[in-house]
């Protein structure tokens, strides 16, 4: 294992610990920002080691679930600290994560892959299964609350929240079963589906476990440093006069950095199937795991929760789903499709700042 691969996450964790005892001055903020970037790079490295050991699609699932679990912890902790003012934070963060992944991450992957390899291919069966589940989860969690009549606009009753939470968890669980057991070949690169032994020799078991542990350290450092830097980010957003929803976008951008980096590197190496597994799997985990935990916290702790999107955001979500459906219709992609996704991503960011 390279020296930097364990030194960077350990140093980031130590710096995170220091933030609990020291005031966040300009020097410490700069150090945290650098440590955050280093932890992202280290997380991607160790995720790739683990993925190479366990094979596809288990490797991409490790990174997606690990990041989403920590993201959930971050959202709930901010909700507990913020009270009623943070009632829309889960909605904003989940919506931002879905939009960032389906337009930004996918767009960059398709553009980078198209520039270097002209055309790339992936398995339609796996991508379509993931997209269908994602559209259903996004509709139930983020759109329907704005149209139900049993409670105020944008909210669900307790029974409705329980139904959506159970449905989200079950649908995500079924997808993971399909991805890893029943139809694992749907999520393997086309050339690999018939022969899974085309990779180089995997790393030793000890190295894989060490990388798994350091991956967790790096991910905790990423999210912890992002949380420590969030007051600085919120102050900057207030100075800019930007809407509160931008806070959710900032959280999602920081937390999704490791997955984005890994997905883009896979596309650059002509492994678009891995990029799709990471992107769509992360989007599904972002809803399927976050909604149940947030609902439990809201019901048990009597925290206010607003899930319904505004009309503008519903249109953007519908556009993202429609364009993703068209992009995934043939199983082959080029840079034009990447450009379309990135234009939608730019529109999402612009309209968040200028609603």
Neighbouring-strand partners of residue 333: 120
Question: Burial letters for 132-147: b for 16+ Cβ neighbours within 10 Å, e otherwise?
Answer: ebbbebbebbbbebbe
Note the pLDDT of residue 171. Answer: 92
CA 115 – CA 102 distance, rounded (Å): 19
Instruction: Find the helix or strand (DSSP H, E) in which 333 lies.
Output: strand 332-333
Which pTM value belongs to this model?
0.81
Residue 184 structural domain: 3-353
Note the pLDDT of residue 144. Answer: 95
Cβ atoms of 63 and 262 closer than 8 Å = yes
**Nearest to residue 254, comparing CAs of 86, 28, 35, 80?**
35
> Based on the structure, what is the number of domains in the chain?
1
CA 285 – CA 31 distance, rounded (Å): 31
Note the pLDDT of residue 196. Answer: 43
Q: And the tokens for 108?
A: 């960059």
CA 201 – CA 30 distance, rounded (Å): 40
Cβ atoms of 317 and 95 closer than 8 Å = yes
CA 212 – CA 214 distance, rounded (Å): 5
Q: Please name the residues in contact with 65: beta carbons below 8 A apart, sequence gap of 6 or more.
A: 285, 289
Interhelix angle 89-99/58-82, nearest 10 degrees? 150
Note the pLDDT of residue 193. Answer: 45
Note the pLDDT of residue 162. Answer: 94
CATH number for the domain that contains residue 228: 1.20.1420.30
Q: And the tokens for 197?
A: 């032994």
**Nearest to residue 256, comparing CAs of 290, 231, 232?**
290
Calculate the alpha carbon distances from 176 to 16, 49, 53, 58 in Å: 33, 21, 19, 10
Note the pLDDT of residue 81. Answer: 64
Mean pLDDT by 10 residues, the chain (355 residues): 87 89 82 84 79 69 71 72 75 91 94 91 87 93 93 91 93 88 79 48 82 87 78 73 78 79 89 88 86 88 89 94 90 91 95 87
Listing DSSP states for 175-221 in one string gives HHHIIIIITGGGGS-TTTSS-S--SPPPPPHHHHHHHHHHHHHHHHH
Instruction: Find the helix or strand (DSSP H, E) in which 121 lies.
Output: strand 120-121
Note the pLDDT of residue 161. Answer: 94
């Amino acid at each position: 294992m390279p020296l930097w691969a364990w030194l960077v996450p350990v140093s980031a964790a130590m710096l995170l610990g220091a933030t609990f005892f020291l005031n966040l001055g300009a020097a410490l903020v700069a150090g945290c920002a650098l440590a955050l970037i280093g932890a992202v790079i280290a997380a991607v490295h160790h995720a790739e080691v683990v993925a190479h050991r366990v094979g596809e699609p288990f490797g991409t699932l490790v990174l997606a679930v690990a990041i989403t679990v920590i993201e959930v912890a971050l959202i709930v902790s901010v909700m507990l600290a913020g009270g009623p003012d943070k009632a829309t934070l889960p909605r904003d963060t989940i919506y931002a994560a879905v939009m960032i992944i389906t337009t930004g991450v996918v767009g960059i992957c398709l553009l980078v892959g198209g520039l270097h390899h002209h055309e790339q291919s992936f398995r339609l069966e796996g991508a379509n299964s993931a997209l269908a589940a994602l559209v259903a989860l996004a509709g139930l969690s983020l759109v329907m609350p704005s149209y139900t009549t049993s409670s105020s606009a944008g909210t669900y009753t307790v029974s409705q929240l329980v139904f959506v939470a159970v449905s989200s968890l079950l649908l995500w669980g079924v997808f993971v079963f399909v991805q890893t057991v029943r139809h694992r070949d749907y999520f393997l690169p086309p050339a690999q589906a018939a022969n899974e032994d085309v990779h180089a020799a995997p790393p030793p078991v000890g190295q894989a476990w060490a990388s798994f542990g350091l991956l967790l350290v790096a991910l905790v450092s990423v999210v912890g440093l992002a949380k420590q830097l969030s007051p600085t980010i919120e102050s900057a957003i207030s100075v800019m006069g930007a809407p509160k929803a931008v806070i959710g976008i900032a959280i999602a951008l920081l937390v999704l950095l490791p997955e984005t980096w890994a997905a883009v590197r896979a596309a650059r190496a002509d492994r678009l199937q891995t990029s799709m597994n990471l992107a769509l799997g992360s989007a599904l985990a972002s809803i399927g795991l976050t909604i149940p935990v947030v609902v439990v916290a809201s019901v048990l702790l009597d925290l206010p929760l607003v899930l319904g999107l505004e009309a503008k955001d519903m249109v953007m979500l519908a556009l993202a789903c429609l364009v993703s459906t068209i992009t995934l219709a043939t199983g082959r992609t080029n840079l034009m499709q990447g450009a379309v996704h990135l234009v939608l991503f730019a529109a999402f960011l612009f309209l968040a700042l200028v609603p």
